[in-house]
Chains A and B, each alone.
Chain A
Amino acid sequence: MHELPQQLANGLILGAMYGLIAIGYTMVYGIVQLINFAHGEIFMVGGFGALTVWLTLPDGFALGAAIPLMILGGVIVSVAVATAAERFAYRPLRTAPRLAPLITAIGLSIVLQQAVWMWYPDAKKDRPFPQFDGGPIDVLGANVQRGDLFVLIAAPLCMVALGLFVTKTRSGRGMQATAQDPDTAKLMGINTDRIIVMAFAIGAAFAAIAAVAYGLKNGQVGFRMGFLMGLKAFTAAVLGGIGNIYGAMLGGIVLGVAESLATGYIGDIPGMDLFGGGAWKDVWAFALLILVLLFRPQGLLGERVADRA
């Protein structure tokens, strides 16, 4: 069992990344009850935005100094794409039956993938992403790569900032009000259109930060990376209780750790050696999701429906 700290750390890092992406699903769902299946692609274009910044910087530019600029670049691209999607693809359908925006989201996701595939230089294969030099750092018996430190720092900071924003600022309270009852909120003078755009933008910004973390961790970004990560993040959002921002992060971490432990240990249980390992980890993760939903259909933190935002 001596690699247990390592497996927990692996799961935590992966889960924090899921959580950051899941915020986008949960915020948009909390406010407009739309499952934005194009969010995985918002995450993907964020990664390419950050990569573009890195490629335009002069050679020899320190990666540490470049990261804020790369985040900025990724956030700008993600937010621009997400708000454009909201404005041109989702807003016209806001009063349409639920299925119409859902299908639009799936279509949008295909369009975004193909657009990057076709127009981003050399994106037909995975593009290398810069990584920190130097070996891993030992934290409580677990090896943590330098690139992974980024998500371990960024995720809690983002969560604190988002928590403060939602509860303390005028816009944040407007967001809560819109989530509870959009029509009444509108009558109270809240510009709900602006609030909805804001929800898309915040979700996109978090996705872009997650994309930088993904690039630093795996050393590559590809036009298809949004699909699987988006699916996992959506699962995390449901697991944590969709509509709840803390639930999204918790769900992400639970999912990440479950995957990691399933890979590491299920196969060691006598008689279970066929069902362990990397191939079955998704099966166990989704089995966990079903179990949680059986006993808590609203998700882990789903009871706070009233102040979802």
Chain B
Amino acid sequence: MRQRSIIAITAALAAGSLTLTACGSRDDDGKSSSGDKTTVVIGVDAPLTGDLSALGLGIKNSADLAVKTANKQELVKGVEFKIEATDDQAQPSVGQQNAQKFISDKDVLGVVGPLNSGVSQQMQKPLNDAGLTQISPANTGTELTQGDGWKTGKSVRQFKTFFRTATTDEIQGAFAAEYLYQKAGKKKVYLIDDQKTYGAGLAASFKTNFTKLGGKIVGSDHVNPDDRDFNAVVAKIKKTGADALYYGGEYPAAAPLSQQLKDSGQNIPLMGGDGIYSGEFPKLNKKAEGDLATSVGKPVEQLPSAKEFIANYKNAGYKDAYEAYGGLTYDATWAIIEAVKIAVEGNDGKVPSDGRKAVLDAMAKVKFDGVTGTISFDEFGDTTNHMMTAYKVKNGAWAPEYSAAPNVS
């Protein structure tokens, strides 16, 4: 019997700690339904636990900030916005469950998220069937909006409910190739990806564009995103004589990869996409100096709207930083708020009975100046904001080098 009770206590403790974790990732404020206001819920899906939780918590907080700002300004009269944040643990199957949860809650008129393209692939269809608008701040997989046909110029819109404020791999890969070949003068590149939807897609797009410009891919490899020891791969790069390494993946693996590359005596830069454009990258990598990254939009210092966002975020007192996707998340959330506004104004100041359809219809008309630039969506649901910036690590921090909107044929 004694053993039984100890098992019971252990189980209770384990269950208790898991519940606590769940509580920690939920926001309970903003629930006060004041008077006769209608509550509109915006679902947020992102990895709030796990090794990408830093990015995910930034997404959650930024969406929360957008909602609070809209409520404070009373942007839509008679409507109180609220977010409902769920954790997808960066796992597609969990993301799909979260999508079902949003669908079953009739107050949810739009969804912001997720972070990972792989998760998005599983969320798109159920949300589409329910006619629920989804805007991802971070998905860059080109096929998510344009289908597999985009490579051959036969782009077809996949899901009428899917939009994004992030730009596509196609644009990011083209911009990276252009910058590396023409501005940085690197002609021989070694290519590595982490086999995830994001990393592999970006690497493939980079490869196509880099070889089109006349550059040479001298070798390629794939790594496991959970690994932190890449010395064996690094030794392989050495014999190819590459003058740069392009990595499709995220910063937790990119940082040790870059450091081990330089530790092996190869003084060549690592370049990556927005997945490595994080303040953590130079902190985790003692030899990050000279490494390159591309990210969406103009540098925040150059946009007044971004400054305001940063100041508000700081004043709101969030525990975690807004990270790489904060601005894009704010814009994605704001786009849904704008769509709700259009829908409400077209219905005599009331939330229409079929709110989801009205919001989706309004998405085509959404246009505003956001944190990352002018936000509107094209016929595929992609952002019309193609501005990209290349950054370089200087004195232990990312510094903007060059901004342009690449021409994608």
Contacts and interface: CB of A to CB of B under 8 A. Distances in A.
Chain A complexes with chain B: yes
Interface in B261-316: 263-265, 280, 283-286
A128 to B, nearest CB: 5
9 contacts: A2-B239, A11-B232, A111-B14, A125-B252, A126-B284, A219-B286, A261-B232, A264-B236, A279-B222
Contact of B226 (A110, A218, A227, A267): A227
Contacts of A117: 21, 49, 53
With a 10 A CB-CB cut-off, give which of A11, A214, A263, A264 has the most chain B CB atoms. Answer: A263
A83 interface: no
B367 to A, nearest CB: 35
A117 B49 CA distance: 8
A5 B6 CA distance: 53
Interface in A195-225: 214, 217-220, 222-225
Contacts of B2: 92
Interface in B227-247: 227-233, 235-236, 238-239
What is the interface of chain B mostly: helix, strand, loop, or mixed? helix
Contacts of B7: 92-93, 100
A279 B221 contact: yes
B54 interface: yes
A298 interface: no
A96 interface: yes
Given A263-B233, A278-B230, A278-B232, A220 B255 contact: yes
Contacts of A227: 226
A110 B18 CA distance: 9
B20 A118 contact: yes
Interface of B: 2-3, 6-7, 10, 13-14, 17-18, 20-21, 24, 49-51, 53-54, 57, 192, 195, 221-224, 226-233, 235-236, 238-239, 252, 255-256, 259, 263-265, 280, 283-286, 320
Contacts of A3: 235-236, 238-239
A278 B285 contact: no
B228 A220 contact: yes
Contact of A124 (B18, B231, B320): B320
Given A2-B239, A10-B235, A264-B235, A104 B10 contact: yes
A259 B228 contact: no
The 4 closest A-B pairs by CB, nearest first: A279-B222, A263-B232, A278-B223, A10-B231
Interface in A35-93: 88-89, 92-93
A227 B256 CA distance: 18
A115 interface: yes
B21 A118 contact: yes
A108 B256 CA distance: 29
A223 to B, nearest CB: 8
B301 to A, nearest CB: 24
A93 B3 contact: yes
Contacts of A7: 232, 235
A136 B231 contact: no
Contacts of A228: 224, 226-227
A191 interface: no
Contact of A107 (B14, B252, B285): B14
A98 to B, nearest CB: 15
A10 B233 CA distance: 10
A6 B235 CA distance: 7
A14 interface: yes
Given A124-B54, A278-B223, A219 B284 contact: yes
B195 A279 contact: yes
B51 A282 contact: no
Contacts of B264: 6, 136, 143
A96 B224 contact: no
Contacts of B18: 110-111, 114
A184 to B, nearest CB: 24
Contacts of B3: 92-93, 95-96
A261 B221 CA distance: 14
A223 B14 CA distance: 18
A158 B255 CA distance: 30
With a 10 A CB-CB cut-off, give which of A10, A217, A260 has the most chain B CB atoms. Answer: A10
Contacts of B54: 124-125
A88 B239 contact: no
Contacts of B224: 228, 278-279, 282
With a 10 A CB-CB cut-off, give which of B10, B24, B222, B252 has the most chain A CB atoms. Answer: B10
Contacts of A111: 13-14, 17-18
Contacts of B50: 224
Nearest to A132: B286
Interface in A265-309: 267, 277-279, 281-282
B320 A128 contact: no
A128 B284 contact: yes
Given A3-B235, A219-B259, A279-B195, A128 B228 contact: no
A257 to B, nearest CB: 10
A145 interface: yes
A262 B171 CA distance: 35
B284 A92 contact: no
A242 B14 CA distance: 29
A289 B44 CA distance: 43
With a 10 A CB-CB cut-off, give which of B10, B227, B231, B263 has the most chain A CB atoms. Answer: B231
